[in-house]
Amino acid sequence: MHDVEALFEDMRGAIPAGPVKIKEAADSGKKVVGCYCAYTPFEVIRAAGAVPVSLCSTSDKPIAAGEEHLPRNLCPLIKSSYGFALTDTCPYFHFCDLVIGETTCDGKKKMYELLDRLRPTHVMQLPQTYFGADALNVWRAEIERLARRLEAELGVTITEDGLRREIKKRNEERRVMQDFYELSKPDPPLLSGRELHLVNEFFKVSFGDARAMDTIRELETKLRENWEAGERRVPAGRRRIVVTGCPTGKSLEKVFDAIEENGGVIVAFENCGGLKPNYEPADETLPPYEALAVKYLGIPCSCMSPNTKRLDLLETLAGEYKADGVVDIILQACHTYSVESFLVRERLTGGKRSVPYIPVETDYSQSDTEQLSTRMGAFMEMIA
Amino acid sequence: MLVRFEGALSPNCVGVDIGSTAAKAVVLGGDGSILYKAVVPTGWSSAGAAEALRENMEREGIDVSKARVVATGYGRVSVPYAAKTVTEISCHAQGALRLFGRDGTVVDIGGQDTKVISLSKGKVADFLMNDKCAAGTGRFLEVMANTLAVELPELFALAERGGGAAISSMCTVFAESEVIGLIGGGRAKEDIAFAVCESIVARVTALCGKQGGGREFFLTGGLCESEYLRGRLSESLRAPVFTDPLARWAGALGAAVLAGVFLS
């Protein structure tokens, strides 16, 4: 059992140590490419010999600075991302040579126009639907355009072999995460939601390092062994919660705590940073650009219209993870997730097995911790 | 403020509701009758309000240390003599059930948040609260009453005689500047009070609509004593809105009922 604690401790330590790794990579001549969103095809960046890194976007701290250029009633994710860049307080942004953005929403695409002044920003024009051949063709062309930009910017050539190799590697990483997520299916789950989130965050700072993936595998094995030996990290009888909605991160841990301190346990994060970008691998039998286009365009983000795939996914997850309830985290002023919550509620509560649903609107400040606790507490009492 | 109840005191179940504006306590006897209730302003300290309620109960001869106590409200963790805490959603639902005796939609306009709770088969089927915003809450009315330099009862009395004006902003801060604009434009106080009340009625109606509406509504919480507001809500919701002299205590009453359920 001590092994498990030690592994969690290592992971906890790896998160603040992430910037050091990237500094070392940059110092050794590696190119660093900053990313914000799950739509960025990491494989292309890696095939260009560069390291894709997730840029800071989930802290309250730089929002005031961001608001000097951006309107206040904009989603905190956008304000935070821009504020970090403006104040040069995101170490990953500091070291990156190029930033990749996508036109996932109005706020982001306009923010990237401003961000481009701080650091060269390549914006991928994301179609607004995953249905039809036209959208797929546009997205494949966009991925190829990204490849050309990377080649020009970094002075490299991206080969088909390189892409195939990176697709295979990224799929393997996705498989490790998928296997890990299985641990939350038994009742009680083998680990808490806070621990699961830690593993997701650790995965974010793994930077394609095979040893990091080994650590996740090792943790999985140890947790299984301990479970077999009778260890229960999560007490029985907790309400099983699937979390969905906007991307998660440090500042939203307040919601996870509100769930887990009031009798719930998070068994799955459907969000970006959790299951959503990783539950489908890229098809290794297809030509690489097509495989990537299909894979990435298929991510069921609320920016897609219609987004029935997310509703299907949530229904499936609620069944597979035997969810007692679904909590939808909506960042203030995120119109797409906010509007979509109507459909999510309808699908979840109106199905064969009605799954209780609650949307929570919040931002990155910690001022609503008490309100969140009341709301989550009441939700747990309701589904008890 | 202290309301005495007739009858012998045989303290049994106590519900304590520490709201953002007022702290309430209800004591139920062994037969479920209400033996005692009290309300004190919460002030700046939840713990202080909880202590004041305890002192009030002790003064009435209720041995709080021997009673079964459930605390609720946003200050529920600051009640050291409570054996259990339950959220105000469950407590208001329970309190409304006790007061009205049937399913319906509970609307609680509280000091800090407004809750809409659907009751089905005597249980909470769904609920909604305003998120991270004071619009449509008692706090909104307090801020506006302050701007107009009147107390809440006077605000409602004024509104009844007013009309015509409107506040479009749902944000308390922006709405306040709209009110200041109306004052500056020389609008009658009555008309501005009317606009303020209409604004909260519209907000609460929208919240109820989001919850899927309802056939009948039960108004609880601090604002239920305004007959004017109840009437306007009923018109706006196009459904009967019931209240009760004890509806203000619904949270504490529900907590006391739940003390009997959970702590027996």
Query: From the CA of B1, how many Å to the nearest CA of chain A?
Result: 27
Give the model's confidence band at B170: pLDDT under 50 very low, under 70 low, under 90 confident, else very high.
low
Average per-residue pLDDT in chain B?
Answer: 88
When comparing pLDDT for B1 and A128, which is higher? A128
Residues near A94 by Cβ (< 8 Å), separated by ≥ 6? A88
Torsion of CA A138, A139, A145, A151, to 10 degrees: -160
Residue A16: the pLDDT is 95
- In chain A, residues with a C-beta closer than 8 Å to the C-beta of B132 are 332, 361-363, 367-368, 371
Considering the segment(s) A7-156 as one domain, its CATH architecture is 3-Layer(aba) Sandwich (3.40)
A-chain residue closest to B122, CA distance: A382
- Partner residue facing A378 (CB), from B89, B112, B132: B89
- Partner residue facing A362 (CB), from B126, B127, B132: B132
Question: Would the CB atoms of B113 and A361 count as touching at under 8 Å?
Answer: no
Give the model's confidence band at A325: pLDDT under 50 very low, under 70 low, under 90 confident, else very high.
very high
Domain locations in chain A as residue ranges: 7-156
Residues near A207 by Cβ (< 8 Å), separated by ≥ 6? A18, A21, A22, A25, A51, A53
- In chain B, residues with a C-beta closer than 8 Å to the C-beta of A258 are none
Q: What does the alpha-carbon distance between residue A243 and residue B147 come to, in Å, rounded to a whole number? A: 42
Distances (CA, A) of B91 to A339, A365, B234, B255: 30, 28, 23, 5
Residue A12: the pLDDT is 97
Taking only the tens place, the pLDDT of each residue in B88-118 is: 999 999 999 999 999 999 999 887 788 999 9
Q: Is-contact B7 B247, C-beta < 8 A?
A: no
Q: Is the pLDDT of residue B245 over 90?
A: yes
Taking only the tens place, the pLDDT of each residue in A43-64 is: 999 999 999 999 999 999 999 9
Query: From the CA of A25, how many Å to the nearest CA of chain B?
Result: 42
Domain locations in chain B as residue ranges: 2-89+249-262
**Best A362, A372, A381 residue to mutate vs chain B (most B CBs within 10 Å):** A381
| A378 near B CB under 8 A | yes
Q: Is the pLDDT of residue B6 over 50?
A: no
Average per-residue pLDDT in chain A?
Answer: 96
| B90 near A CB under 8 A | yes
- Average pLDDT rounded to a whole number, residues A293-317: 98
Fold designation for B2-89+249-262: Nucleotidyltransferase; domain 5 (3.30.420)
Q: Is the pLDDT of residue B132 over 70?
A: no
Say yes or no: ipTM exceeds 0.90: no
- Partner residue facing B132 (CB), from A332, A356, A381: A332
Residue B131: the pLDDT is 66
Q: Is-contact A55 A34, C-beta < 8 A?
A: yes
Q: Is the pLDDT of residue B210 over 90?
A: no
Q: Is the pLDDT of residue B10 over 70?
A: no
- In chain B, residues with a C-beta closer than 8 Å to the C-beta of A377 are 87
Taking only the tens place, the pLDDT of each residue in B67-96 is: 999 999 989 999 999 999 999 999 999 999
Query: From the CA of B182, how many Å to the nearest CA of chain A?
Result: 25
- Average pLDDT rounded to a whole number, residues B153-158: 94
Give the model's confidence band at B175: pLDDT under 50 very low, under 70 low, under 90 confident, else very high.
confident
Q: Is-contact A321 A355, C-beta < 8 A?
A: no
Give chain B's end-to-end CA distance (angstroms, integer).
30
| A382 near B CB under 8 A | yes
Containing H/E element for A226? helix A210-228
| B206 near A CB under 8 A | no
- Average pLDDT rounded to a whole number, residues A103-120: 98
Taking only the tens place, the pLDDT of each residue in A199-252 is: 999 999 999 999 999 999 999 999 999 999 999 999 999 999 999 999 999 999
